[in-house]
Chain A
Amino acid sequence: MNVVATQPKQKPSLRDWLKTLTFYELLLGMKATLTHLLNYKPITLQYPHEKRLLPENYRGMLALLRYDDGTEKCVGCDLCEAACPSRVIRVVSAEVPEEPTKRYSKEYYMDMTRCLFCGLCVDACPVDALGMTREFEWAVYDKRQLHLNKEQLLAIGDRSYPVREKRLELQHPNVAFFNVAFKNLPQKEI
């Protein structure tokens, strides 16, 4: 419109005058919007009704996993707690009763309000007891519902990983520590 006044002092050419008089630049913009109206191709996804395809390596809700016979994989080594940059995880490790060489996580808490889904705990786990699921719809009304305990984490793992890893003979979690292959023991199948 009156762009002439705001521009540095120079004599506007006849062309500029014509452009101003005919609203040339305004019409260009309006043509752009009308083009979008006529070639209407929305990029919207109607979210609750249709969902985006998640990428193959999507990092969603964390979960604790089990072996195929239902025993927990977690050996209570605390490495995930050490690896976590946001202090999400708290593990209370304990000995298995009557088996003083074996340990397990007596309590396992995750404060998902702080989790940034980096996946470092999953990488750190020596027995692959942690997994990242493809769940992401975790909006809740109460923030405290995001403080998960061991049972809840196991339940998430149960519903997200229907195919469980086979627990081999003699492969007690404590034996498979750090995924090191021992010569006298069979290799862990993946």
Chain B
Amino acid sequence: MEIGLRLAVSLAQIAAVMGVVMLTVMVLTLAERKVLGWMQDRMGPMEVGPYGVLQPIADGLKLFFKEDIIPAGANKFLFTLAPILALVPAMIGFAVIPFGPSLTIEVFGMQIKPFVISDINIGILYILAFASIGAYGIILGGWSSNSKYSLLGGLRSAAQVISYELNVGLAIVGVILLSGSLSLVKITEAQAGGFWNWFILAMPFPQIFAFVVYVISAVAETNRVPFDLPEAESELVAGFFTEYSGMRFAFFFIAEYANMILVSCVAAALFLGGWNAPYPGTILGYIGLDSVAWMENVVWFAVKVYFFLFLFFWLRATLPRLRYDQLMRFGWKVMLPIALGNIVLTAIAAYFFPR
């Protein structure tokens, strides 16, 4: 009975988070085209619905009803598996993201944390581990298609994701040193009380370099412009998903956007204080509405995440694609030393000035 209820509550939480993520993905597909259009003096989609707001639904319907092609000579099992391997890790990472303050509420005599599905104590490690599995989806999808463009895209992706995941991990270490925990909930709570306590600015050693390294590596890890070599349109048709169509293609597409949201959430939680407002406490709390103060926190989290998502679009509208050797050199010769140096300095500072 007890375990059944717990399961039901967990499933409800998972459904809610999945719903929000899928909704955000839908909004993002439209927002990306609109923002890119506006930045390039175009209008973006305008036909479906007023100002094109129903475009994601039309796209979804189109992809749903498209023919599902498995090319001759493709490895059928891996070809089918790859989109799932790409999508599931992107979705599963949201389990440890705290979307709001860590209150507990009582439901049927159980302690429930409504804003985080599962507050496990190795949260950030869990996200990194699943991000690595997501790379398998891309590599296997590229390999199993039996197409040279897909294979080249998959190979590029393999090298790129490995190089840049290293930087992501090393950039995060500084934050972990300062907060003393791997749990995203605890890391966020350690940044409470104003923007000067956020880890990007916090004493004893501001993680501004780690932040820059993380953001650049996150862009590279999600295969976005200017690091979109795995799916470089002008060189590789569509890269690793050249041969995919219909819902399998949609899975890769959703995975890319879900990954964007995930790395944005992690960046907000690790460096920009997560759901903490940039001032101590909450305004709603000060005017005596303590019971709804969580709304303000959730809004702040959303604002931070959407800022990062906008940054993704902004970079895409601005920057050209890097050459492959530039990408590798930048990853290993510039980002890695900066991340390592940041760890050394943070460790020294954290040793002499413990928080």
Contact = CB atoms under 8 A, between A and B. Distances in A.
Contacts of B315: 30
A43 B314 CA distance: 20
B326 interface: yes
B324 to A, nearest CB: 14
Given A26-B319, A33-B317, A33-B318, A2 B329 contact: yes
B38 A37 contact: yes
Interface in A1-24: 1-2, 5-6
Contacts of B46: 46
Contacts of B58: none
A33 B37 CA distance: 11
Contact of A37 (B35, B43, B319, B334): B35
Interface in B6-59: 35, 37-43, 46
Contacts of A1: 330, 334
A41 B329 CA distance: 39
B45 to A, nearest CB: 11
Contact of B41 (A5, A29, A42): A42
A36 interface: yes
Given A1-B334, A2-B330, A37-B35, A42 B42 contact: yes
B66 interface: no
Nearest to B317: A33
Nearest to B334: A2
Contacts of B37: 42
A44 B329 contact: no
B42 A33 contact: no
Contacts of A136: none
The number of chain B residues touching the other chain, given as a range, is: 10 to 19
A36 B318 contact: no
Contacts of B35: 37
A34 interface: yes
Interface residues of A, number: 18
A111 B333 CA distance: 63
B40 A29 contact: no
Contacts of A34: 39, 314
A35 to B, nearest CB: 9
B39 A37 contact: yes
A44 B43 contact: yes
B43 A42 contact: yes
Contacts of A141: none
Contacts of A32: 318
A33 B39 contact: yes
B41 A36 contact: yes
Contacts of A44: 41-43
A36 B38 contact: yes
B51 to A, nearest CB: 11
A52 to B, nearest CB: 16
A33 B41 CA distance: 10
Contacts of A138: none
A108 to B, nearest CB: 40
Nearest to A6: B326
A44 B37 CA distance: 10
Interface string A39-60: 0111110100000000000000
Given A2-B326, A5-B329, A42-B42, A29 B319 contact: yes
Contacts of B41: 36, 40-44
Contacts of A42: 37-38, 41-43
A34 B36 CA distance: 10
B310 to A, nearest CB: 10
Interface string B310-351: 000011011100000010011001100000000000000000
A36 B326 contact: no
Interface of A: 1-2, 5-6, 26, 29-30, 32-34, 36-37, 40-44, 46
Given A26-B319, A41-B41, 16 more contacts: A5-B329, A29-B319, A30-B314, A30-B315, A33-B39, A33-B314, A34-B39, A36-B39, A36-B41, A37-B35, A37-B38, A37-B39, A40-B41, A42-B43, A43-B42, A44-B41
Q: Return the 9 tightest CB-CB contacts between A and B, nearest first.
A: A33-B39, A29-B318, A44-B43, A33-B317, A33-B318, A42-B43, A37-B39, A30-B318, A37-B38
10 contacts: A1-B334, A2-B326, A5-B333, A26-B319, A36-B39, A40-B38, A41-B41, A42-B37, A42-B38, A46-B43
